[in-house]
Amino acid sequence: MERTRVVITGLGTVSPIGNNVPAFEAGLAAGVSGVGPISRFDASSVSCRIAGEVKDFNPEDYFEKRDVGRTDRVQQLALAAAQEAILDSRLNLEAEDRERIAVYVTSGIGGGASFEGEVLQVAIKGPSRISPFLVPKMLIDSIPSTIAQRFKLYGGTNSVVSACASGTQMLGEALEAIRRGDADVIVTGASDAAVTATGIGAFANMRALSTQNDDPARASRPFDKERDGFVMGEGAGMLILEQLDHALARGAHIYGEILSQAVTSDAYHMTLPDPDAKQIVRAMRVAIERAGITPDDIGYVNAHGTSTPANDRTESFALQVLFGGRAPLVPVSSTKSMIGHLLGAAGAVETVACMLTIKNRLIYPTINYATFDSECPLDYVPNVARPSDVRYILKNSFGFGGHNVSIVLGRYAD
């Protein structure tokens, strides 16, 4: 039976290299780094003092002044990206059946800044002084609810949490929901804003973060032999997924097609990937099979590529197993080299980058690549963007706890 086709008709993002899609697009093409010294709190006592912060973002551009204090930064970034994606899609919400438009948006951490702030209040003033807005500010499902309320979208909200694979898995869940007939259109993606004392301190004390504090712009260096950990980022990525016939009927611009998703579990360790990469390979293979293509059809891989020694080594090994002798010929790059690791939002923002790759016929680079690592022997599109007429993209995301998610994206063709 022929499956319902689902296309992407709108993009929105807030990121460390741009607070909208055109700025993000320009930053990707130029190989700009959005990483710098942390400004959101005093990080002088932490081993990692750098991050990919969103700059010059004013929540009052999106919320009434009184509502800014009632929402967490994670919701504010999400709403900004969702608003851009909806406008970009040219959906006429007044003419649409809003009961057929859903919001599938998630986060890896949720409202961590609000939770951190209120815990400090408890320590100083006691629990009676906790803000009555804390619960909705910190809950992950408040993020899609904020978007649904703003745009009066009644088709249902959903949040799937799988650590740093959350955003990519959310896109796959939205794909399947449209195929089931649950909605015609879904606003989907993810947001994270964990550049806080607790967030940075926790990951730093796990020794997961880079300590290249003296050269922030070069600290995120996926697949480079000198990589020493990931760099935390913040931001949001949103996409409008739409049933193809619905998109064609309204004359929508189509960026590309989302073809499939596959999810597996390492069942190995709470933080480390399984070095044999068996379940990572299975996720990629199943996603490709479900897309109705073969590994030979993949023209580009947007990697998870965190800049940690174990992740990059394991992902590179998995890609060699998947592609076999063709592996050195397949371009692989990590958007995290420019924006850092946006945790649960990473995959959604990186999928926006994939759509821009298709649109512009340009593979964005892995910047900061300088030293070859024999355990990472692939073509990482080092430092400079590369023209390429990519038809099929494999997008990988992995998360602490052994979450493996792969999706296949394609150029739209009638």
Q: Which residues are catalytic?
A: 164, 304, 341
- The torsion angles phi and psi of 105, rounded to 5 degrees, stand at -135, 140
Task: Give the position of tokens 């629990």.
Answer: 127
Task: Give the position of tokens 């710098």.
Answer: 36
Q: How many CB atoms lie within 10 A of CB 257?
A: 21
Report DSSP state, residue 364. P
The size of the chain, in residues, is 414
The burial of 273, by beta-carbon neighbours within 10 Å (0-12 exposed, 13-18 middle, 19 or more buried), is given as buried
Sequence-distant (6+) residues with CB within 8 A of 386 are 331, 362, 363, 365
Do the strands 386-387 and 6-14 form a parallel or antiparallel pair, or are they unpaired? Answer: unpaired
**Separation in Å, CA 377 to CA 71, 97, 270, 312:** 45, 50, 27, 11
Local structure of 407: helix, strand or coil: strand
The answer to whether residues 335 and 393 touch, using CB atoms and an 8 Å cutoff, is: no
Of 37, 76, 74, 45, the closest CA to residue 60 belongs to 76
Q: Where are the alpha helices (DSSP H) in 208-308?
A: 244-249, 278-290
How far, rounded to the nearest angstrom, does the alpha carbon of residue 197 sit from its chain's CA centroid?
A: 22
Q: What would the two tokens of residue 7 be?
A: 């296309």
Give the torsion sign (CA, 274, 276, 279, 283): positive
User: How far is the C-alpha of 245 from the C-alpha of 6, rounded, in Å?
Assistant: 9
The answer to whether residues 211 and 203 touch, using CB atoms and an 8 Å cutoff, is: no
Q: What would the two tokens of residue 336 be?
A: 């995290």
Sequence-distant (6+) residues with CB within 8 A of 157 are 102, 103, 104, 105, 141, 144, 145, 148
Sequence-distant (6+) residues with CB within 8 A of 34 are 15, 16, 17, 27, 52, 53, 55, 233, 338, 339, 340
